[in-house]
């Protein structure tokens, strides 16, 4: 692990902010690092308001999208709400369809089959729309590259409205409206919405002529917060506001589907981390193991008992998914060793019977072992399909762009992408991808980095300090949980390895002459027990530990030296 301390912000600004907010300098420094330098910026940050949610009509084509939907309603047309099978797609479809059903009866949903149709807008979906007399398709979390498919639909007199957030290509589909804040000529003030977030802007715009204010749409924010968390989009600006209020809905009045998942895990109050690791994988499991329709049915179910039955079925999918991703990860690791590829700059693995639904998770697992850009391929029809994942700081989408000659189609983001290619191009692609990464990656990026906000003494960790850190949530990219470094700490002698296979490390640490000890837990750091016999340095975040009804601050160790 590389430990890097963030740059020191302007000292005068830090001192002024600490004074204005009556907080200590360490917290003022962390805020300044996040470009929060004035009292008003801090107020907006710590007290998100629904007033911070932007006007949806600032988005390019929003007026055209609303006009076309209103026309469909007044002409009594059938509208098909189409979305991808991942969390962002299924939450977006659930959100837009459930709102549209409150203003128009002729609404149906369509999630493509991961195996038969693959990612994004599909010809099968358009044929389904034609066979069932749908004249308008609203595509969510996909469609920005569906040029031929939108043209194909047009031939069948089916109009498209595209709501997407993936990087546009050189050409934009000729849809009635394309809502995507990443378009170069779109002046929407925030371009990092997730797909469900773009869908939310659409329903918010539809509500304007119905005199519905933003308050009317708050109940839909449990879905938006789930998508923001799962899609790992930046947790700043509008996303932070949407996630903040969405979490409140999840914890107070969630829709039945989310309530049913929470009912299964029996947790009191969920954080955004719980949404990422508890709610999102279960919604995803439906699309991975069976079909994304299960997720939409769960998230739009009006009867709680039925939702609980759906959630129980999805729980089984999730358990199967866990077994499968462990098995495939083990096989992939063996493949890397057998091919003598431990020293490569990339991990590219393939087996034709790997389950397409879990290859993205497997790619992330491989990065935990070999920290480098990773692709996991499987057979999909007569082609090979892959999920790509990257390491912090390296744009895998751009790297794939340079291998375009061997790829049939691809799309995605800086850190995650999906692609298909013909089997005969696999070896050439693999060699080219390795060459591109080898020639373009900064070698430092191949060692995981821990970015440290501040170095502090343990004595600075007071109840007030911890309370303010908690108020900085929800955390995510661009607003990560603050990471601290403390030097020359010692264990009180009771440090031990814990967990079923002794993989975790539990310590009680203190510093200098101050004998106050702090509980510390280091997941997967069990093998570092030998380093705690003398003084050592630690990097950690702060967490709340609850034991027998008693709450205390504990250090969540990320690394020690």
What span, in angstroms and rounded, lies between the C-alpha atoms of 469 and 409? 43
Residues spanned by the domain of 154:
56-313
Spacing of C-alpha 172 from chain mean position: 25
Task: Give pLDDT, residue 493.
Answer: 87
Residue 347 to residues 324, 364, 372, 397, 423: CA-CA distances in angstroms? 20, 11, 7, 15, 18
Sign of CA dihedral 117, 118, 123, 126: positive
Decide: residue 154, CB within 10 A, 0-12 exposed, 13-18 middle, 19+ buried. middle
Determine how many CB atoms are found less than 10 A away from the CB of residue 218.
16
Last-in-domain residue among 279, 313, 347: 313
What span, in angstroms and rounded, lies between the C-alpha atoms of 264 and 462? 35
Q: How many domains does the chain have?
A: 3
* CA nearest neighbour of 54 among 205, 165, 166: 205
Read off the pTM: 0.90
| Domain match, 230 and 295 both | yes
Q: Name the DSSP class of 245.
A: H
Task: Give pLDDT, residue 59.
Answer: 98
| Domain match, 477 and 494 both | yes
| Domain match, 490 and 508 both | yes
- In SS3 terms, 308-362 reads as HHHHHHHHHHHHHHHHHHHHHHHHHHHHHHHCCCCCCCCEEEECCCCCHHHHHHH
R_g over Cα of the chain? 25
Q: What is the mean pLDDT of each run of 10 residues along the chain (561 residues)?
A: 94 96 95 95 95 97 98 98 94 98 97 86 97 98 96 98 94 97 96 97 97 97 96 93 97 95 84 92 83 91 93 88 93 96 96 92 94 96 94 95 94 88 97 97 95 96 94 94 97 91 94 89 93 94 87 94 93
| Domain match, 202 and 218 both | yes
What span, in angstroms and rounded, lies between the C-alpha atoms of 479 and 471? 12
* CA nearest neighbour of 219 among 99, 112, 59: 99
| Domain match, 80 and 123 both | yes
| Domain match, 370 and 472 both | no
207 within domain boundaries? yes
333: left (phi over 0), alpha (psi -120 to 50) or beta: alpha
| Look-up of token digits 């890097």 | 4
Task: Give pLDDT, residue 430.
Answer: 97
Which residues does 81 contact at the CB level (< 8 Å), separation at least 6? 93, 96, 97, 100, 107, 108, 109, 110, 138, 140
| Domain match, 494 and 399 both | no
CATH number at residue 124: 3.90.1640.30
319 within domain boundaries? no
| Domain match, 66 and 188 both | yes
Task: Give pLDDT, residue 214.
Answer: 97
521 within domain boundaries? yes
441 in Cβ contact with 346 (< 8 Å)? no
What span, in angstroms and rounded, lies between the C-alpha atoms of 81 and 65? 13
What span, in angstroms and rounded, lies between the C-alpha atoms of 44 and 166? 28
DSSP percent split of the chain into helix, strand, coil, nearest 5: 45, 20, 30
Tell me the pairing of strands 449-452 and 2-5.
parallel
262 within domain boundaries? yes
Last-in-domain residue among 313, 348, 378: 313
| Look-up of token digits 């440290």 | 452
124 in Cβ contact with 117 (< 8 Å)? yes
Task: Give pLDDT, residue 292.
Answer: 86
210 within domain boundaries? yes
| Look-up of token digits 């749409």 | 217
| Domain match, 64 and 33 both | no
- Cα-based torsion angle of the residue sequence 286, 292, 294, 295 in order, rounded to the nearest 10 degrees: 80
| Look-up of token digits 């308050």 | 215
And the tokens for 200? 């939310």
What span, in angstroms and rounded, lies between the C-alpha atoms of 344 and 340? 9
Task: Give pLDDT, residue 269.
Answer: 87
325 within domain boundaries? no
């Amino acid at each position: 692990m590389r430990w890097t301390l963030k740059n020191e912000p302007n000292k005068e600004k830090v001192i002024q902010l600490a004074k204005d907010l009556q907080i200590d300098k360490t917290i003022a420094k962390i805020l300044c690092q996040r470009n929060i330098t004035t009292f008003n910026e801090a107020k907006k940050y710590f007290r998100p308001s629904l007033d911070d949610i932007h006007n949806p009509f600032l988005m390019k084509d929003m007026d055209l999208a609303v006009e076309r939907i209103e026309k469909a309603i007044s002409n009594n047309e059938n509208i098909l709400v189409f979305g991808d099978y991942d969390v962002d797609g299924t939450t977006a479809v659930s959100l837009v369809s459930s709102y549209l059903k409150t203003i128009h009866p002729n609404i149906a949903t369509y999630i493509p089959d991961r195996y038969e149709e693959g990612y994004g807008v599909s010809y099968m979906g358009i044929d389904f729309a034609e066979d069932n007399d749908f004249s308008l398709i609203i595509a969510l979390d996909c469609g920005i590259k569906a040029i031929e498919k939108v043209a194909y639909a047009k031939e069948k007199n089916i109009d498209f409205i595209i709501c997407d957030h993936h990087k546009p290509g050189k050409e934009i589909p000729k849809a009635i409206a394309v809502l995507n804040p990443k378009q170069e000529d779109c002046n929407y003030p925030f371009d990092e919405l997730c797909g469900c977030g773009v869908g939310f802007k659409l329903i918010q715009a539809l509500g304007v002529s119905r005199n519905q204010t933003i308050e009317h749409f708050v109940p839909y924010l449990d879905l938006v917060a789930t998508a923001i968390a799962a899609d790992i989009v930046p947790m700043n600006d509008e996303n932070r506001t949407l996630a903040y209020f969405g979490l409140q809905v999840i914890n107070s009045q969630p829709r039945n589907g989310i309530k049913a998942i929470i009912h299964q895990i029996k947790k009191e109050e969920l954080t955004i981390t719980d949404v990422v690791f508890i709610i999102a994988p279960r919604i995803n499991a439906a699309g991975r193991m069976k079909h994304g329709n299960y997720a939409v049915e769960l998230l739009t179910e009006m009867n709680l008992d039925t939702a609980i039955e759906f959630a129980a079925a999805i729980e089984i999918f999730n358990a199967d998914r866990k077994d499968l991703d462990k098995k495939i990860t083990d096989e992939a690791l063996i493949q890397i060793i057998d091919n003598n590829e431990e020293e490569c700059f990339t991990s590219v693995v393939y087996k034709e019977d790997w389950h397409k639904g879990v290859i993205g998770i497997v790619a992330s697992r491989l990065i935990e072992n070999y920290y480098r850009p990773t692709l996991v391929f499987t057979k999909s029809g007569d082609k090979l399909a892959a999920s790509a994942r990257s390491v912090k700081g390296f744009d895998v989408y751009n790297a794939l762009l340079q291998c375009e000659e061997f790829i049939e189609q691809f799309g995605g983001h800086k850190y995650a992408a999906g692609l298909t290619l013909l089997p005969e191009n696999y070896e050439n692609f693999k060699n080219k991808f390795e060459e591109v990464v080898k020639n373009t990656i900064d070698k430092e990026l191949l060692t995981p980095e821990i970015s440290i906000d501040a170095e502090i003494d343990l004595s600075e960790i007071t109840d007030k300090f911890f309370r303010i850190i908690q108020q900085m949530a929800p955390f995510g990219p661009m607003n990560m949980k603050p990471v601290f470094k403390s030097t020359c700490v010692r264990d009180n002698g009771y440090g031990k390895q814990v967990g079923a296979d002794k993989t975790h490390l539990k310590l009680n640490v203190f510093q200098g002459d101050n004998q106050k000890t702090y509980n510390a837990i280091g997941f997967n750091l069990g093998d570092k027990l030998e380093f705690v016999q003398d003084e050592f340095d630690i990097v950690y975040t702060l967490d709340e530990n609850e034991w027998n009804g008693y709450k205390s601050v504990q250090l969540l160790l990320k690394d020690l030296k």
